[in-house]
Structure 1
């Protein structure tokens, strides 16, 4: 085990990392529902940056220790701690907010990034999934949602632009404004993910693809990613940030986020019915 391997395996609280034949398997473990809080974002960011210059890692596979949740969404309690991400924001490129910069780091990672999606990914979790190069999702178990509209805001970590690029404008509007949890098969049909697969075959399918890619001759992965670069989104991300920031300052966002937390958001029970929970709050707010 070299120094990089020891560091990557030993220095994290919310990530479990296993290295095998050119593939880094990264398991997210931030119970109870894998909230994307400062600690988890910091560790994922640290891992991605440390991996960039390591030629022995060809592919990175992300999965979750929780079978029901991949990444639930960004930590809603941050409404009471608006400066919590200031440390991460210090290194944020000009023109991006801290959440966009995080997702763009994933989208521009030199290794092939693959999400093994066996549970739910909403909000910032869905943005992470969409930023990855490939996603394979378990039929009957996986779900994706940009649920921010139900909190009185719009996606602010790249979600609007990623949806526009992947799904087209009409379906992107459905995802952003419909704010429903979309299962693996419909997500595949919309082009949100690569493939919906039987849940009992997810591990085998993803592992085979990851190992096959990692075994390619030197230079092939870099050449493919150079020939197939991520779409440029700077102007769109700026528009998204302004839209998100403007809505976040309105009273409805605060009422819905605080109300959601009181009603059980960020608990297992509440997250399993988050859309229903937030719609109930919306109805009460406009009544």
Structure 2
């Protein structure tokens, strides 16, 4: 696997573990380039029997994946090429989450920065998530832009934390710290920041060292829920809101006031609430 194949990822393979570092400065926006890289990487790894575990982390100490690129409001056709050939019933954002959710390898996220919107959806689609205390944050911020999650978030969240807390996360649109996310079941475990690497690396090595067939057998037994109907409902809800004038205004005003900059992303919730 050539490192040069990916503009926004750094990938290393060793001992049955693929370590993937997200690197799309300044804030790891989930734009066309990052989405294409992630799709290509996951597709390549699906057929690589030498890889048993995929661990995702970030080159940025502050941001895991900020959210989907908000400039989509000005370039609605930007993802058309990625959307070509998708399975029926999912949009381009949902397709990424479903690819991750059905990956044959075990997927683990080391969350040591913030993940909002589409970033939170990617995190929630992974098999396991370990979050650094005092550094990690996760939230579905879409409601503050006049929309709802459209990349699987509503469905993935409900499966993880239940309907009542999913409604709280989607409509409250707050950023949840590691401890609260653990208590809700959004992440596997909240871990002291200086122990995160050790905890995840030990787990990844132990899983990669299991006898042949064990990972595949476990993934056959603990199968992801079929979310086809829910994903269709989610897409219709998201698309119906995205075309409303209020959503366009909030997204444009957010960009004009610092969204997708390091400064603005540090408290994006407050920035967007101020615009409303």
1:161 CA displacement: 0.6
1:87 CA displacement: 0.6
* Paired residues for 1:15-30 under 5 Å: 15-30=9-24
* Paired residues for 1:47-58 under 5 Å: 47-58=41-52
Matches of 1:182 and 1:146, distance apart in 2: 9
1:10 CA displacement: 3.0
Question: Could you list the runs of 5+ residues in structure 1 that have no partner in the other structure?
Answer: 283-287
Matches of 1:270 and 1:227, distance apart in 2: 43
Alignment match, 1:90: 84
Matches of 1:181 and 1:196, distance apart in 2: 15
Q: TM-score, normalised by structure 2?
A: 0.99
Alignment match, 1:134: 128
1:92 CA displacement: 1.2
**Paired residue secondary structure (1:39):** helix
1:125 aligns with 2:119: yes
Q: Runs of 4 or more off by more than 6 Å in structure 1?
A: none
Q: 1:173 aligns with which of 167, 170, 177?
A: 167
Alignment match, 2:102: 108
Matches of 1:187 and 1:125, distance apart in 2: 15
Matches of 1:200 and 1:214, distance apart in 2: 23
1:19 CA displacement: 1.1
Matches of 1:240 and 1:204, distance apart in 2: 37
1:222 CA displacement: 0.3
* Paired residues for 1:1-287 under 5 Å: 5=1, 7=2, 9-282=3-276
**Paired residue secondary structure (2:130):** strand
Cα deviation, 1:102-136, whole Å, max 9, x if unaligned, reads: 11001000000000000000000000000000000
Question: Could you list the runs of 5+ residues in structure 2 that have no partner in the other structure?
Answer: none
**Paired residue secondary structure (2:93):** helix
1:13 CA displacement: 1.5
Matches of 2:242 and 2:8, distance apart in 1: 28
RMSD: 0.6
1:51 CA displacement: 0.4
Matches of 1:194 and 1:168, distance apart in 2: 15
Matches of 1:93 and 1:101, distance apart in 2: 8
**Paired residue secondary structure (2:89):** coil
Q: TM-score, normalised by structure 1?
A: 0.95
Matches of 2:228 and 2:12, distance apart in 1: 34
